[in-house]
């Protein structure tokens, strides 16, 4: 998924539309730390899932969410003009990030999808980790905007794609039947037709 993301960002189909960052969103370079933490969650945390079916459900949820956002990058390419590089100790880290992750594929945002999906499935296996993962998301998701990678609306759209991916992953994990218990841990009967 990362390779496809980078390929699309480096091979834009047509001229991307510049989308401005809302004026109320500051540029705070120190938030690169929780931002990178989000990426590490996506790449490393799935190995904590020991249940084979849950791991496959997590994988399917990620793929589904990604397939919901990726076509928009091709059909309606966008770019986010970035501020001047900061001076100080964060300048090199931000410069390296921006060299790898060019300012394209802005709407919708995929950076928060993986952490949200992984947090869902890992917390199902390790309920004691749930609050730690929630805190990581509450701090990490805003860091995407605070490092000027995406706008808040893009993060929201990516979060919706993650939610759909989780629902699909859970449904496929239960043989195509979406149960309320899949999402709430209750003992409800399957919802017909989903």
| Annotated domain spans of the chain | 28-183
Mean pLDDT of 124-144: 96
Mean pLDDT of 38-50: 94
| 118 C-beta neighbours (distance < 10 Å), count | 24
Full-model pTM: 0.85
pLDDT digits (tens, 9 = 90+) for 23-36: 999 999 999 999 99
SS (H, E, C) the chain: CHHHHHHHHHCCCCCCEECCCCCCCCCCHHHHHHHHHHHHHHHHHHHHCCCHHHHHHHHHHHHHHHHHHHHHHHHCCEECCCCCCCCCCCHHHHHHHHHHCCCECCCCCCCCHHHHHHHHHHHHHCHHHHHHHHHHHHHHHHHHHHCCCCCHHHHHHHHHHHHHHHHHHHHHHCCCCCEHHHHHCCCCCECCCC
Name the percent of the chain lying above pLDDT 90. Answer: 70
Confidence of residue 9 (pLDDT cuts 50, 70, 90): confident
Give the per-residue pLDDT at 11.
Answer: 74
């Amino acid at each position: 998924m990362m390779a496809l993301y980078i390929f699309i960002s480096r091979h834009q189909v047509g001229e991307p539309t510049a989308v401005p960052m809302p004026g109320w969103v500051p540029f705070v370079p120190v938030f690169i730390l929780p931002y990178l933490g989000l990426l590490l969650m996506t790449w490393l945390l799935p190995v904590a899932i020991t249940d084979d079916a849950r791991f496959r459900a997590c994988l399917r949820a990620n793929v589904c969410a990604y397939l919901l956002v990726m076509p928009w990058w091709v059909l309606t390419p966008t770019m986010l003009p970035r501020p001047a590089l900061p001076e100080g100790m964060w300048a090199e880290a931000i410069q390296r990030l921006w060299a790898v992750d060019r300012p394209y594929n802005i709407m919708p945002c995929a950076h928060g999808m993986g952490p949200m999906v992984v947090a869902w499935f890992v917390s199902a296996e390790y309920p004691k980790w749930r609050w730690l993962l929630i805190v990581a998301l509450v701090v990490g998701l805003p860091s995407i905007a605070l490092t000027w990678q995406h706008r808040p609306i893009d993060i929201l759209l990516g979060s919706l794609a993650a939610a759909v991916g989780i629902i699909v992953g859970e449904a496929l994990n239960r043989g195509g039947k979406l149960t309320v218990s899949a999402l709430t841990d209750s003992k409800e009967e399957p919802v017909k037709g989903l």
